Amino acid sequence: MLHIDVLANNDALTGLPNRLLARTRFEQVAELSKRSREYVALLFLDLDNFKTVNDSLGHAAGDALICDVAQRLKGAVRSSDTVSRQGGDEFLIIVAGLQDQESVAMVAAKIIDVMAQPFKINSMEISATCSVGVAMYPDNGHDFDALLKHADMAMYKAKESGRNAFRFYDAEMNTNVIEHLHLISGIRSALLRNEFRLHYQPQFDLNSGRIIGAEALIRWHNPELGNIPPNKFIHVAERSGQIHEIGTWVINEACRQAKLWQVAGLQDLVIAVNLSPVQFRRDNIERDVINALEKHNLLASSIELELTESLLIVDSEQIKTLLKRIRALGVHLSIDDFGTGYSNLGYLSRFEVERLKIDQSFIRRMTENSNDEGIVRAIIEMAHSLKLEVVAEGVEHRQALERLKQLGCEYGQGYYWSPALPPEEFFRFWMAQCHLTG
Ligand code: C2E
Ligand code: CA
Ligand code: CA
């Protein structure tokens, strides 16, 4: 009985599930995914040059290759995914539990990658690349047959594109995902080719009018893509995990520059560095900071770390103690983009934060809209009652500056004074300012 079952459901050559069993498996995971609201992807895979192998080396070699491909594909996906043989040199892979298109793209890219390694058949190296078409449940079809047809169509698009590639059925997904993958590989080479720079936006003491430091803002110039703003690549790097490497580079570079400037006479300057909440998922921030300070022989009080509200709201003991240790080094801590996240303010007093940066959207609208001015005033009062200092971001006009002074705001930064500047220009700006304010 069991034997008949296996015969009916499995491919005789590879032992993989056949189309019949693949359909059943799909229907099971599709049903489950309705509740979890996750995607199921059908990846239709076709070898690029199977006919040549069969014709030149014979059917036995062709069969051996198919068996090796089956093993490799199984090794490239999780054991809960289904790899099935559809016949000939066609395979179907069902991947469930996917949160988004990018994770599907990662799986497809991995398959292309493992297949690109040569196979050894009859002690000969054979290259057997493949083309993959992807259709997603439920977006590209509601039943197995529709999805299979769409994945097959997408596979032909991959062949047309020059083989050894994958394509989504949905054209828009292709552009999104391709752009995304371009950025990921662009970031990888940017780190290798040293394409990142830090620019520095001056910060001012509103009472004395003196310049007190700068916020370091990352800049990326890619020879092909041009200048790519941080708002476009930081979230990609956060999802791909590359933010850890970028973050290490940023802290080190900021410390290196701060030391250079101190030696050149900019004594009390504090450089603020942006940290992504994702960087806290690994525990190398503290080590990065200590390493950079030691390497450049810099006082910890020359550095400020800008944290996001979302990081503090989770109220994790682990983050609390980590921030305590970092603060104990003498590094300053501030909260960035304050007012855009949560309105639960209780967390502020539980962390060792000293400054709060009011988000620029409030400052920009403040002089036009009395509601926004009310919010700014409330934030400043609340911050002061918690013994926190306030930095206003995005100050563009004298009017806003005067109002902020009246409200008791301590510091400011924005285009009213200057945008972020390359290091040499920042140095000249600092010298000119010191000259002005004496
Ligand atoms: P942010 O930390 O809120 O940085 C302030 C952004 O506002 C900067 O944009 C700055 O150039 C811009 N800005 C400054 N003054 C004004 C003004 O008066 N008016 C207007 N309209 N804009 C002003 P930028 O450099 O494009 O950075 C965007 C965001 O990218 C930053 O927002 C920050 O979240 C992120 N980012 C930048 N550098 C880094 C970095 O090194 N690491 C991490 N994790 N994130 C970074
Ligand atoms: Ca910031
Ligand atoms: Ca900000």
Ligand 1 touching residue 202 (CB < 6 A)? no
Measured from the Cα of 238, ligand 1's closest atom is 44
Residue of 293, 319, 317 whose CA lies nearest to 304: 293
The CATH number given to 195-437 is 3.20.20.450
The H or E element spanning position 303 is strand 303-308
Ligand 1 touching residue 69 (CB < 6 A)? no
Per-residue confidence of the chain (438 residues) as pLDDT tens digits? 456 677 788 999 999 999 999 999 999 999 999 888 899 999 999 999 898 888 888 999 999 999 999 999 999 999 999 999 999 999 999 999 998 888 888 899 999 999 989 999 888 888 889 999 999 999 999 999 999 999 999 999 998 888 888 999 987 777 777 777 788 889 999 999 999 999 999 999 999 999 999 999 999 999 888 999 999 999 889 988 899 999 999 999 999 999 999 999 998 899 999 999 999 888 799 999 999 999 999 999 999 999 988 787 766 788 889 999 999 999 999 999 998 776 556 677 777 899 999 999 999 988 888 888 999 999 999 999 999 999 999 999 999 999 999 999 999 999 999 999 999 999 999 999 988 877
The C-alpha atoms of residue 58 and residue 343 are separated, in whole angstroms, by: 70
The C-alpha atoms of residue 194 and residue 190 are separated, in whole angstroms, by: 6
- Tell me, in angstroms, the distance from the centre of ligand 1 to residue 392's CA: 13
For residues 215 and 200, is the Cβ–Cβ distance under 8 A? Answer: yes
- Tell me, in angstroms, the distance from the centre of ligand 1 to residue 337's CA: 10
pLDDT of residue 282: 83
Ligand 1 touching residue 396 (CB < 6 A)? yes
Residue of 4, 7, 89 whose CA lies nearest to 50: 89
Long-range contacts of 232-241 (CB under 8 A, 24+ apart): 232/183, 233/183, 233/186, 233/187, 234/276, 236/180, 236/183, 236/184, 236/187, 237/187, 238/276, 238/278, 239/102, 240/184, 240/187, 241/278
- Tell me, in angstroms, the distance from the centre of ligand 2 to residue 310's CA: 14
Ligand 1 touching residue 227 (CB < 6 A)? no
**One-letter-per-residue 3-state SS of 173-212:** HHHHHHHHHHHHHHHHHHHHHCCEEEEEEEEEECCCCCEE
The C-alpha atoms of residue 363 and residue 50 are separated, in whole angstroms, by: 64
Residue of 313, 243, 315, 314 whose CA lies nearest to 282: 243
Quote the DSSP letter at residue 278. G
Residue of 43, 134, 47 whose CA lies nearest to 88: 47
Pocket test for ligand 1, best of 217, 357, 359 (most atoms within 8 A of CB): 217
Ligand 1 touching residue 218 (CB < 6 A)? yes
pLDDT of residue 344: 57
For residues 242 and 184, is the Cβ–Cβ distance under 8 A? Answer: yes
pTM, to two decimals:
0.72
Domain boundaries, the chain: 2-182, 195-437
The C-alpha atoms of residue 250 and residue 271 are separated, in whole angstroms, by: 11
Q: Alpha-carbon dihedral of residues 82, 85, 89, 91, nearest 10 degrees? A: -30
| Residue 52: both structure tokens together | 């040549």
**One-letter-per-residue 3-state SS of 92-116:** EEEEEEECCHHHHHHHHHHHHHHHH
| Residue 29: both structure tokens together | 């995971």
Q: Whose CA is nearest to atom 30 of ligand 1?
A: 230
pLDDT of residue 283: 78
pLDDT of residue 2: 54
Residue of 185, 252, 167, 217 whose CA lies nearest to 413: 217
- Tell me, in angstroms, the distance from the centre of ligand 3 to residue 234's CA: 14
Ligand 1 touching residue 415 (CB < 6 A)? yes
Ligand 1 touching residue 253 (CB < 6 A)? no
Rg (CA), the chain: 28
Measured from the Cα of 359, ligand 1's closest atom is 3
Bond prior to 138 in cis (omega within 30° of 0): yes
The CATH number given to 2-182 is 3.30.70.270
Ligand 1 touching residue 62 (CB < 6 A)? no
